[in-house]
Amino acid sequence: MTKGCILLFLVFGALLLPGAAAAQVTLDTIPVIGSRASSDVALRTRSVRIIDVEEIRALPARHLAELLGATLGVEVGARSPAQSDLSIRGAGFEHVLVMVDGVRMSDPQTGHFDLNLTVPLDRIERIEILRGAASAMYGGDAVGGVVNIVTRREAGWGVRLEGGSFGTATAALHGAVPLGEGVTLELSAESGRSDGHRDDTDWDQRLGTLALQAPLAGGRLVVEGGRARRAFGAGDFYAPFPSFETTRVGTARVTWSGEGPRGLRLEPVLAWRSHDDDFILVREDPSIYRNLHTSAQLQGELVVRGRLPAEVAFAAGAEVARHRLRSATLGDHDEDRSALFAELVRTFPGGLEVTAGLRHDDHERWGGFTSPSLALSLPLAPELRLRASGGRAFRGATFTERYYEDPAHLADPELRPERSSSVEAGVHLGEGRAAALALTLFDRTSRDLIDWARPADDGDARWVTRNVNEARFRGIEVEGTLRVDAATRLRAGFSALGLEADVEEGVESKYALRPLRDQFQLVLDRELPRGLRARVVGARSRLGGGSGHGVVDLRLEAPFAGGRVHLDGRNLGGADAPDLTGNPIPGRAFYLGFSRPGR
């Protein structure tokens, strides 16, 4: 047993010791990401950013990736609006877990597909972003952070229409049909297309969800399914060719939540996700080279939540899952995984809050891994709070990292799983006030980090997967908010990241060792007369070794015909910076749209 596990067991015991009456921990039906046991403690003990529905509607964004890119510490590496990679605190797209309503959606084949979801933009109620390790709660891949998309419960009908630069056009519809006796049928659909901002980046996508909600056995039953199809030019995405790619995603989920015996809350989940990928190297001649992959995952989970003596909230549960891959180039593979987990939360007299988590995962290929975590929050004054957290995380190589091979890439099936340990500390001043400031310091050390690499002086050499002995990421995040007056709000943030890696000289990293080095963001929200509103979003970013670039976006909106009309300006300064492919990011663009929310 590791020292971390022993420490966690001691903390578990301390949390259960009888003591003076403590403040009550909130136990809600929908915990915020970062804690399975409490709906609010994670907001005080961890670095959590929530983009609520009002902010979603105000941002000049048309896709999930653009919403996430407006968050400090988050890097969205876009090849085009059709496909983007997600990174948090320097942890790459394979190190961030993506969930929808608390259900794992990260793809077992490759993290390139993690944002290929079926949820239309207008169905999103909020986006919860946890920065930092979270394997103790959510298992593998949650190394740098977790993104949870929370869908909204519909009431009434809404619509969105939009069009603009690069031949872009989008139409969306969402709403609900009450069927009586508490039963509701919810529908959400979105269709869009674009000519692309450069050759071979055209895209066409259609996605939608259908959900049935009904009371059952004293609780609430939700049965939901989703489908999405994306067809897009993939020029230079992975190789210097005019490629084309088509992806199809299917999801299904059955959940029930309600009261069990002795006031316990039971939450069983059965979920399925499939992903088809058809990649054509030269779109005009598929016979030259073509990849066909189908991945699927079936997973079940049971979470039990409740309270123990001394006002201790707890959550415990189990997960089982099967991952499957059928591929013309990677072969056919089936792997099983399972996990047991528990979490305790206690608030002591004086306001000290402590959360302890422990999880053990078993994987058919990697074996067992135990992930402990510990987080605390301590108020020192009405407007001053300290917090700290630490934990372990792990990640096994994806199917692509183990089995993929083409003229430019060669995978290693014997890759070892990654192991990492993280600590962070934060200070919060003036929370809930007109002026507030938060400072976070973090440190993550990864061992056996999985990376694609090749000799830096040989551009024709293959990219090969390998384990890096050790890599250490250390950083700082500073965020501030200011309500200038009743109509003006300002939010600013700065992050910086340092990297030390035990690698030989003359080796080029493709993904894992090329983090976002520093980032500055500024958001100005101004309410104008007659219901007008303006939001300016400015950001400047710099990758390792790069010179950095700045982008300014703008949204102007006004009430119209029972809804709101908006004008978006993207990259108003015309920044000419490279994207993941080395080609320029989209230039100056404008979009005009109308939306009427369902509620």
Contact 406, 329 (CB under 8 A): yes
Q: Check residue 586 and give left, alpha or beta (phi > 0: left; psi -120 to 50: alpha).
A: beta
Q: Provide the pLDDT for residue 546.
A: 61
Q: Provide the pLDDT for residue 24.
A: 44
571 CB-side CA count, 13 A: 14
Q: Is the pLDDT of residue 145 over 50?
A: yes
In 3-state terms, what secondary structure has residue 98? strand
Question: How many angstroms from the chain centroid is the CA of residue 259?
Answer: 30
Query: Among candidates 148, 150, 152, 149, which has minimal Cα distance to 175?
Result: 152
| Consecutive H or E run containing 138 | helix 135-138
Q: Is the pLDDT of residue 69 over 90?
A: no
Dihedral angle computed from the Cα positions of residues 108, 113, 115 and 119, in that order, rounded to the nearest 10 degrees: -80
- Read off the tokens for 80: 């085009």
pLDDT tens by residue, 335-345: 999 999 999 99
Q: Provide the pLDDT for residue 547.
A: 65
Q: Is the pLDDT of residue 298 over 80?
A: yes
In the beta sheet, which residues pair with residue 324? 296, 334
Contact 315, 294 (CB under 8 A): no
Q: Is the pLDDT of residue 359 over 50?
A: yes
Instruction: Over range 453-481, report the average pLDDT.
Output: 91
The rounded distance, in Å, linking the Cα atoms of 33 and 374 is 15
Q: Is the pLDDT of residue 234 over 60?
A: yes
Q: Provide the pLDDT for residue 29.
A: 47
Q: Could you tell me the domains of the chain?
A: 3-596 (2.40.170.20)
pLDDT tens by residue, 511-540: 888 888 899 999 999 999 989 999 999 999
Length of the chain: 599
pLDDT tens by residue, 367-397: 999 999 999 999 998 889 999 999 999 999 9
Query: Among candidates 582, 189, 95, 142, which has minimal Cα distance to 371?
Result: 142
| Consecutive H or E run containing 340 | strand 331-347
Alpha helix segments (H runs only) across 293-352: none
Please tell me which residue, 357 or 460, carries the higher pLDDT value.
357
How would you classify the pairing of strands 409-410 and 418-429?
unpaired
pLDDT tens by residue, 203-230: 999 999 999 999 999 899 999 999 999 9
Mean pLDDT of the chain: 89
In 3-state terms, what secondary structure has residue 264? coil
Q: Check residue 448 and give left, alpha or beta (phi > 0: left; psi -120 to 50: alpha).
A: left
Check the CA dihedral 282-287-290-293 and report its sign.
positive
Contact 512, 449 (CB under 8 A): yes
Indicate the DSSP class of residue 20.
Answer: S
Residue percentage of the chain with pLDDT more than 70: 94
Contact 210, 185 (CB under 8 A): yes
Q: Provide the pLDDT for residue 40.
A: 84
pLDDT tens by residue, 317-341: 999 999 999 998 899 999 999 999 9
- CB-based contacts of 548: which residues, under 8 Å, 6+ apart? 518, 540, 541, 542
The rounded distance, in Å, linking the Cα atoms of 501 and 428 is 31
53 CB-side CA count, 13 A: 12
DSSP per-residue string spanning 22-35: -PPPP--SSPPTT-
Instruction: Over range 537-552, report the average pLDDT.
Output: 81
Write the CA distances from 435 to 49, 59, 217, 485, integer angstroms.
17, 21, 47, 11
In the beta sheet, which residues pair with residue 376? 354, 388
pLDDT tens by residue, 170-206: 999 999 999 999 999 999 999 999 999 999 999 999 9
Check the CA dihedral 559-560-563-564 and report its sign.
negative
In the beta sheet, which residues pair with residue 410? 405, 464
Contact 377, 357 (CB under 8 A): no
The rounded distance, in Å, linking the Cα atoms of 190 and 206 is 6
Contact 186, 73 (CB under 8 A): no
Q: Provide the pLDDT for residue 524.
A: 96
